[in-house]
Amino acid sequence: MALIETPTPHAAQPAETRTTKPTGRRKPRTWPNLVVLFLGALVFLFPFYYMVVGSLQAKPDTSLGGAFPTGGLTLHNYAEINSRVDLGSSLVNSGIFTGGVILGTVVFGVLAGYALARLHFRGRGVLFASMLLVQIVPFQLLIIPIYVMIVRTYGLADTYLGMILPFAINSTAVFVFRQFFLQLPEDLFSAARLDGAGEFRILWSVALPLVKPALLTAVLLTFIGPWNEFLWPFLVTKDASMQPLAVTLANYISNIAGRASNPFGAILAGAVVLAAPAVALFTVFQRHFTASDLGSGVKG
Amino acid sequence: MVPAMRTDVGTVTTPRRPSSRQRVTTLLGRHPLGILFAAPYAVFLAALFAYPLGLAVWISFHDYFFAAPGAVVARPFVGFANYVTVLSDPAVRRSFLNVGEFLVINVPLTVVLALVLATALNSVVHARSFLRTSYYVPYVTASVALVAVWLFLFSQDGMVNQLLGPLAPDPSWLVNSQLAMPVIALFVTWKQLGFFILLYLAALQGVSKELYEAASIDGAGKVRSFMSITVPGVRPVTTLAVILATITGANLFTEPYLLTNGGGPDGASTSPVFVMYQKGIEQGNPDVAAAIGVILVIVVLVISLIYRRLLERD
């Protein structure tokens, strides 16, 4: 449980410093840090602000003043991109792709994480080692053979199954589940077993309720993969009606945008639609996405 | 009460076939059900990780081409022919050099900025979660969406050039063969930095507070404490961060594809994965593409081992 707590700022430290140095001269001044941090945050957030502003302007105004318009904002660009590409069905495709991966990860990942943490069975060591190995082999190496298998051998091009399969169980999430199940006290499990509960029952009624916060973290972690993924769905979908939003927008940027009246406006409108769900989710649940959650999970 | 107890104990000791039970245990482990629980994940790893990994290597040693599903075609073993083709191709060499340039900019910048910002973030009490969230928002947002804004910011008439006025580079950033790769490296640094800040924030919790106090009593300033306590204290995470940043760099695809319009100008910002896509899927030479992939992974592994040696010395 400790893992999901936001690391508490050293509450005790100022008091201690005061006792050792009564002058208080050594008490760390934090405002210079704050200034640097806020300037940094500005660099990180400005492009998002600019994305929204640019998407609402009828004509691109790239001067500094143009970033702070006083009026004339319009939703025209959203209508423009929606008339060129089907935003609605792209969003649905992104949703199905992401939902499928999350479902696969939660169902099979929890089972695997529980087995890896709590059950002794033949092959556990090999499975654990493979799980770690997956984290360091770049997915891109597998692009060609997986493309050969899924598109050429099994003919799954332009299907949701073909899109989902390579990501179906997120190994980082399996690792997170394992870590959380591992932290639960062994007594809990032996007591439940003594009471005659089967392993499935123990997982469902004892372990799972205790690791609910981990579930949320793992779902968030899993979400960013498929929602933002570009290369794989780009390779597997040629039919525009099957493409998730990242692919639709990328194709719009590289092929169609030149013909629009305000190409950047329409592109930015699409970018806002693509970015909004992820930004919203992570802002709402930011408490659940902290350093220690990621500390062990290798890649995002 | 007592008789009840006795029957209870009796039932526990009755199992009469310990031998068969034991056999199952030695064969499948103490919890055979674990095999069932782990089976879907094991099948997934076998089918979509182990098998493709082997297939990639196999393809790279054969004259492999796409054929209609079910068609039986000869794909003769060709030894290192694909590797020779790859290594003698200037476009491939260029793409590896480009990623080298990318890594030289991206990795040090990422590690230094992430550690400095994480240390600063760790010392403030107010607005922590706001700041933390601001830093990782680019990390959780799709590259495609962020590339759109950067295209706008760094275009010929974009805001960056407007602000620079006469200092704006000519040709502009993304169509300048000297600047295209550095802009991509900056973009990726900016996008990924939040993740590395989170990693360092976790590591900083493990650095003992007493060390800082002792140093401060001995008269060490902030910079001195940072260099002598923080930097060595988080060294294992630095190794991890450097390796992860390198893997991310080796995976570069979306940015050269979209930000510089297909690795432009004139191949100045191609990446190995982008060349894999061109050769393997656009031009239909999966064998050559697979060889690029194998070389890429070997290069990444070698670089990672060198990092470990260098960073974990002393």
Render pLDDT for A132-163 as a digit per residue (tens, 0 to 9): 888 877 777 789 999 999 998 888 999 999 99
How confident is residue B261, by pLDDT bands cut at 50, 70 and 90?
confident
Two tokens at B1?
A: 């009460």
- Chain A CB within 8 Å of residue B14 CB: no
**B 83-122 residues inside an 8 A Cβ radius of A:** 117, 120-121
The rounded mean pLDDT for chain A is: 83
Two tokens at B129?
A: 């979660």
Q: Is the peptide bond before B182 cis (omega within 30 degrees of 0)?
A: no
- Chain A CB within 8 Å of residue B288 CB: no
**Is residue B41 in some structural domain?**
no
- Chain A CB within 8 Å of residue B178 CB: no
User: A285: which DSSP letter?
Assistant: T
* Cβ <8 Å between A134 and B45: yes
Q: How far is Cα A115 from Cα B182, in angstroms, rounded to an integer?
A: 46
How confident is residue A22, by pLDDT bands cut at 50, 70 and 90?
very low
Mean pLDDT along residues A238-251 = 94
Out of A20, A62, A141, closest to residue B213 by CB: A20
Residue range of the domain that includes B178 = 86-312
Mean pLDDT along residues B281-294 = 93
pLDDT at residue A49 tops 50: yes
Residue B219: its pLDDT value, please?
86
Residue A199: its pLDDT value, please?
85
Residue A295: its pLDDT value, please?
43
Radius of gyration of chain A, Cα coordinates, nearest whole angstrom = 24
Out of A37, A116, A267, closest to residue B120 by CB: A37
* Cβ <8 Å between A111 and B120: no
Residue A153: its pLDDT value, please?
86
Residue B308: its pLDDT value, please?
85
CATH number at residue B217: 1.10.3720.10
Out of B145, B198, B273, closest to residue A140 by CB: B273
**Is residue A14 in some structural domain?**
no
Two tokens at A3?
A: 């893992």
In chain A, the number of structural domains is 1
Out of A138, A143, A272, closest to residue B250 by CB: A138
pLDDT at residue A120 tops 70: yes
CATH number at residue A157: 1.10.3720.10
pLDDT at residue A6 tops 50: no
Question: Mean pLDDT highest for which of A285-294, B5-14, B264-273?
Answer: B264-273
What is the reported pTM? 0.86
DSSP state letters, B50-108: IHHHHHHHHHHTB------TT------B-TTHHHHHHHT-HHHHHHHHHHHHHHHHHHH
**Is residue B246 in some structural domain?**
yes
- Chain A CB within 8 Å of residue B258 CB: yes
Q: How far is Cα A133 from Cα A119, in angstroms, rounded to an integer?
A: 21
Sequence letter at residue B234: V
Do B230 and B83 contact (CB within 8 A), yes or no?
A: no
Residue A128: its pLDDT value, please?
93
With left for phi above 0 and alpha for psi between -120 and 50, is residue A298 left, alpha or beta? Answer: alpha
- Chain B CB within 8 Å of residue A124 CB: yes
How confident is residue A14, by pLDDT bands cut at 50, 70 and 90?
very low
Task: Report pLDDT digits (tens) over A163-181.
Answer: 999 999 999 899 889 988 9
Phi and psi at residue B59, to the nearest 5°: -60, -40
Mean pLDDT along residues B72-85 = 89
Q: Is A1 helix (H, G, I), strand (E, B) or coil?
A: coil
* Cβ <8 Å between A274 and B142: yes
Residues of chain B positioned with their CB less than 8 A from the CB of A127: 38, 41-42, 45
Task: Report pLDDT digits (tens) over A103-118.
Answer: 999 999 999 999 999 9
**Is residue B31 in some structural domain?**
no
Residue A261: its pLDDT value, please?
67
Residues of chain A positioned with their CB less than 8 A from the CB of B43: none
**Is residue B241 in some structural domain?**
yes
Residue B137: its pLDDT value, please?
93
Three-class DSSP labels, B21-33: HHHHHHHHCCCCH
How confident is residue A221, by pLDDT bands cut at 50, 70 and 90?
confident
pLDDT at residue A15 tops 60: no
Do A218 and A112 contact (CB within 8 A), yes or no?
A: no
- Chain A CB within 8 Å of residue B249 CB: no
Task: Report pLDDT digits (tens) over A190-217.
Answer: 888 888 888 889 999 888 888 887 788 8
Do B31 and A119 contact (CB within 8 A), yes or no?
A: yes
Two tokens at B229?
A: 């306590």
- Chain B CB within 8 Å of residue A197 CB: no
Out of A45, A112, A146, closest to residue B38 by CB: A112
- Please give the residue of chain A at the shortest CA–CA distance from B34: A115
Query: What is the ipTM, given to two decimal places?
Result: 0.86
Instruction: Say which residue, A139 or B276, is predicted with more confidence.
Output: B276
Residues of chain B positioned with their CB less than 8 A from the CB of A144: 56, 59, 276, 280-281, 286, 289-290, 293
**Is residue B127 in some structural domain?**
yes
Q: Is A181 helix (H, G, I), strand (E, B) or coil?
A: helix
CA angle, A96 then A97 then A98, to 5° = 90
pLDDT at residue A294 tops 70: no
The rounded mean pLDDT for chain B is: 87
pLDDT at residue B62 tops 70: yes
* Cβ <8 Å between A141 and B296: yes
Residue range of the domain that includes A247 = 80-296
